[in-house]
Amino acid sequence: MRILTAAHHAPSVGYSQPWNFILIRDRSSRLNIKESFSKERLKSVELLEKDKEKKRKYLDLKLEGILESNLNICVTYDHRRFGPYVIGRMTIKEAGIYSVCCAIQNLWLAARAENIGVGWVSIIDNKHLKRILNLPTNIKPIAYLCLGYVNKFEVQPDLQSQNWLNRLDLEKVINYEQWDDRNRPTEWEGFSQRLTGKKAYS
Amino acid sequence: MRILTAAHHAPSVGYSQPWNFILIRDRSSRLNIKESFSKERLKSVELLEKDKEKKRKYLDLKLEGILESNLNICVTYDHRRFGPYVIGRMTIKEAGIYSVCCAIQNLWLAARAENIGVGWVSIIDNKHLKRILNLPTNIKPIAYLCLGYVNKFEVQPDLQSQNWLNRLDLEKVINYEQWDDRNRPTEWEGFSQRLTGKKAYS
């Protein structure tokens, strides 16, 4: 409940709080959801086509903990909540979904602070999920999460330690003033030095 | 940079880290963005039609700090990053956008920990934003944020203290096992008591 309280205190567009948290312990639901995962995983690995090395790596990855975790949570979006007029959502329709994601990240950090691990399973067909969890038409599943006590927390993300991808340098994802400003304005000099202590863009 | 480091350490689908942070101090860009806000705000208030009370309330609300904040940040999504094959995004296409929102919430919390206030302005036309910030076609703006030192942090969200909406009871957004399970299974008894100390659903 502390974790869900943190999630529920996320900012939301027009204060619409458009989330629900479906807590799932039932084994038969989880078995059905695991089945959806397994199907989608195989479809997904097939898309790698002839890249045998990547296929092998993919199949070695731990991508879910549906059955063995203590609790599954499906986080959903209800576009009707306090609607149709929601401040800030009239211009950017997707803003309600963004709010749900803020709640999910709050949930994740709060869980971590309680030494509880979280995994987000996005290799699930949402049509299956809607049927299994009996979701009405206006309710959109955003995240399917597995929560549980873990033996240890890894220092690096799994996909990094298993050489799938590396973390980008932070400076590569910072832009100054505009997208393509390769001539960083002089007034920005030293901005990124403050953190690293080393000369930026050396 | 500490705040951006926190944002950059958000979880992301397939470790794709699909975000960029455009830092904006330039006054002429901000004036243009403010102009887009002002137009969209008027369009938005007109949608309230004959509800004069709500219109008056709406016009009293502080909905942006584009010009007076210390820094504006546009957070964007790049669907091409490490793509087209991104683990977990083959089944749920929107998962990349969800990752960007997780980064935004990390940014928000990290800023708050540094006593810096954040406001998310979603009353902006993204077509204008793309032009003003020179974003390529494949880059989608997700959030436009105003960051700055504030005189004080309010205890409640503005929309609550100004009687626009109230925070929902947490229990109203929790579902057990399925969407519409009004007969909460007996094994869930006491679950929500643990936090509040009062009898759940009394």
CATH number of residue A76's parent domain: 3.40.109.10
Is beta strand A139-149 parallel, antiparallel or unpaired with respect to A71-78?
antiparallel
Where does the pLDDT of residue B50 fall: very low under 50, low under 70, confident under 90, or very high at 90 and above?
Answer: confident
Task: Report CB contact under 8 Å: A47, B178.
Answer: no
Work out the minimum CA distance from A148 to partner chain B, whole angstroms: 16
ipTM of the complex: 0.94
Q: How far is the C-alpha of B31 from the C-alpha of A88, rounded, in Å?
A: 20
Residue B175 and residue B116 share a domain: no
Number of structural domains in chain A: 2
Side-chain-facing half-sphere of B168: CA atoms under 13 Å: 19
What is the reported pLDDT for A158? 93
Instruction: Give the closest of B24, B54, B102 to A105, CB-based.
Output: B102
Q: How far apart are the CA of A152 and the nearest CA of chain B, in angstroms?
A: 18
Residues of A with Cβ-Cβ distance to B14 under 8 angstroms: 159, 164-165
How large is the average pLDDT for residues B113-131? 96
A168 to chain B: which residues are within 8 Å by CB? 8, 17
Are the C-beta atoms of residues A79 and A140 closer than 8 Å to each other? yes
Tokens standing for B67?
A: 């010009």
Quote helix, strand, coil % in chain B, to nearest 5.
40, 15, 45
pLDDT of residue A82: 95
Number of A/B CB contacts below 8 angstroms equals 243
A6 and A101, same domain (yes or no):
yes
A148 shares a domain with A177: no
CB contact under 8 A, A187 and B25: yes
State how far the alpha carbon of A73 is from the alpha carbons of A54, A86, A141, B178, B185, in Å.
30, 26, 11, 10, 16
CB contact under 8 A, A178 and B22: yes
Collect the ranges in chain A with pLDDT lower than 70: 181-184, 192-202
Is residue B195 pLDDT above 60, yes or no?
no
- Check whether residue B130 and residue B190 sit in a common domain: no
Kindly state the tokens that stand for A49: 């086509």
Q: Are residues A52 and A117 in the same domain?
A: yes
Q: Residue B198: pLDDT band by 50, 70, 90 thresholds?
A: very low
On the question of pLDDT at B200 being above 60, the answer is: no
Q: Which of B165, B123, B160, B147 is closest to B38 using CA atoms? A: B123
* A96 neighbors B94 (Cβ within 8 angstroms): no
d(CA B141, CA B19): 10
User: Domain range spanning residue B160?
Assistant: 2-167
Q: Flag whether pLDDT at B197 surpasses 50.
A: no
Range from A135-139, A198-202, B73-77, B139-143 carrying the lowest mean pLDDT: A198-202
Cβ-Cβ contacts under 8 Å, A50 against chain B: none
Whole-angstrom CA distances from B6 to A109, B9, B146, B151 are 12, 5, 17, 24
CB A66 within 8 A of CB A35: no
Say what the pLDDT of residue A37 is. 96
DSSP B127-149: HHHHHHTT--TTEEEEEEEEEEE
With beta carbons less than 8 A apart as the criterion, state whether B91 and A40 touch: yes
Instruction: State whether A159 and B87 contact (CB < 8 Å).
Output: yes
> Are A101 and A65 members of one domain?
yes
CA distance B86 to chain A (A): 10
Which pair of structure tokens corresponds to residue A93?
Answer: 């329709």
Q: Examine the domain organization and report whether B137 and B201 are in the same domain.
A: no
SS3 B175: strand
Cβ proximity of A28 and B193 under 8 Å: no
Whether residue B162 is found in the same domain as residue B191: no
Contact B188 A123 (CB under 8 A): no
Sheet holding B116-120, edge to edge: A174-176, B19-24, B71-78, B139-149, B116-120
Residues B81, B64 within the same domain: yes
- Which CA distances in Å does B113 have to B2, B27, B68, B120? 10, 27, 21, 17
Are A164 and B188 within 8 A, CB to CB?
no
DSSP label at B156? Answer: S
Residues B115 and B190 in one domain: no
Q: Which among A88, A108, A170 has CB closest to B4? A: A170
User: So what's the pLDDT on residue B187?
Assistant: 78
Q: Do A29 and B177 touch (CB under 8 A)?
A: yes
Q: Region B10-24: what's the mean pLDDT?
A: 97
Model's pTM, two decimal places?
0.94
Same domain, B161 and B175: no
Instruction: Provide the pLDDT for residue A191.
Output: 76
At residue B181, the pLDDT reads 59
Indicate yes or no: CB of A179 within 8 angstroms of CB of B135. Answer: yes
B129 and B177, same domain (yes or no)? no
